[in-house]
A = this chain, B = another copy of it.
């Protein structure tokens, strides 16, 4: 009887990240140790602030991708842990800078660093993490890996600037929004996965396949996050639902609702999201507009498309536990919305 309940539980739980985390547990632990070691500095504020962010955990999705992809490629060395650390540092640096730009008060379920130590410290420690990431890459010594990660870093920076100039516009449109999340989120997912076959000396087709897997998984992930922000709970998100709305952060559900709405509705979105003049009941009204135009549903449909592309990208690789866990990670990215 107990067994039956467990099976039911599993079925209810749906796809999970656990199998991939289990397969990569040892390397992820090594990566976590490297993160702590590499954050040491005689300037005391640096490890303190960096630990607040990096040490806090988070999903570690990007280093997980590097480690998983290295396993998928049969890589036998140790440099993938260094590169996974490097990828997490790049990610953390952009988070620190992003929070300053967005003035978001919560990050990974904790107070954002800039709210504790101030904006200047956040900017500079972000720079520190970023340069330390480059030191790690140089240690590994592959010019190709350096090329992929430095290109990704520059695309992320470009994406931040594009978002700064375009994202406070409810009429931004889906294409530009997609360009932003490709740059800001998906590009690092893509690079994190692509560096593994390079390290393992695998052929160009596998490199392209893992790059595509990361890119499409990253887009799907972000779109589901966008939808969850209007439908999730604090526990699931590590941030309060409706945060994007309260901060005037324009994401796909709102972009589609704006496009599909009438003049009155567009005025509402302009007031609440562009001018960020929000009143009691606005979030409820926003949710009813998203519902009326089916935009949470359609945002998840878009995510499903990218998920399907990510799954097919792994087709070239031989079947096995790592591949199955990476496929399940795609399903998890999509279905955690249900």
Find out whether the CB atom of A212 lies under 8 angstroms from the CB atom of B173.
yes
Per-position contact with B for A104-128: 1 when CB-CB < 8 Å, else 0?
0000000000000000000000000
- The distance from the CB of A87 to the nearest CB of chain B, in whole angstroms, is 20
Whether the pair A312, B208 counts as a contact (CB closer than 8 A) is no
CA A169 – CA B301 in complex, angstroms?
31
Count contacts on A: residues with CB < 8 A to the other chain: 26
Cβ of A316: which chain B residues have Cβ within 8 Å of it? 171, 173, 259
**Chain B residues near A209 (CB-CB < 8 A):** 173
Q: How far is the CA of A173 from the CA of B310 in the complex (A)?
A: 11
Specify which of B176, B211, B256, B302 is in contact with A175 (CB 8 Å cutoff).
B211
> Could you jot down 23 A-B contacts, CB within 8 Å?
A169-B205, A171-B205, A173-B209, A173-B212, A173-B316, A174-B212, A174-B309, A175-B211, A175-B212, A175-B215, A175-B309, A175-B313, A256-B312, A258-B315, A259-B312, A259-B315, A259-B316, A298-B308, A301-B305, A302-B305, A302-B308, A302-B309, A305-B305
Interface 1/0 per residue, A307-330 and B, CB below 8 Å: 011001101100000000000000
20 further A-B contacts with Cβ under 8 Å, apart from A176-B208, A256-B312, A256-B315, are: A169-B205, A171-B205, A173-B205, A173-B208, A173-B316, A174-B212, A174-B309, A175-B208, A175-B211, A175-B212, A258-B315, A259-B312, A259-B316, A260-B312, A260-B315, A298-B308, A302-B305, A302-B308, A302-B309, A305-B305
Task: For chain A, residues 136 to 171, give those with C-beta under 8 angstroms from any C-beta of chain B.
Answer: 169, 171
Q: Which residues of B sit under 8 angstroms from A258, Cβ to Cβ?
A: 315
A173–B256 Cα gap in the complex (Å)?
30
Q: Which residues of B contact A260 (CB under 8 A)?
A: 312, 315
Which residues of chain B come closer than 8 Å to A173, judged between CB atoms?
205, 208-209, 212, 313, 316
Residues of A at under 8 Å CB distance from B? Answer: 169, 171, 173-176, 205, 208-209, 211-212, 215, 256, 258-260, 298, 301-302, 305, 308-309, 312-313, 315-316
Cβ of A26 to closest chain B Cβ, rounded Å: 30
Which of chain B's residues has its CB closest to A216's CB? B175
Contacts of A309 in B (CB 8 A): 174-175, 302
Closest 6 A/B residue pairs (Cβ): A259-B315, A305-B305, A175-B212, A171-B205, A259-B312, A173-B208
Are A313 and B212 in contact, CB atoms less than 8 angstroms apart? no
- Which B residues touch A175, using CB under 8 A? 208, 211-212, 215, 309, 313
Shortest distance in angstroms between A73's beta carbon and chain B's nearest beta carbon? 16
Cα–Cα, bound, A313→B173 (Å): 7
CA of A73 to CA of B255 in the docked complex: distance in angstroms? 21
Cα of A290 to Cα of B27 in the assembled complex, Å: 39
List, in ascending order, chain B residues with CB within 8 A of A308's CB: 298, 301-302
Residues from chain B with Cβ under 8 Å of A301 in the complex? 305, 308
Contact between chains at B259 and A174 (CB < 8 Å): no
Q: Give A167 to B256 CA distance when docked, in angstroms.
A: 35
List residues of chain B with CB within 8 A of the CB of A312.
Answer: 174, 256, 259-260
Determine the distance from Cα of A316 to Cα of B173 in the docked complex, in whole angstroms.
9
* Bound form: Cα–Cα A301–B259 in Å: 23
Q: Which residues from chain B contact A305 at a C-beta distance below 8 Å?
A: 301-302, 305
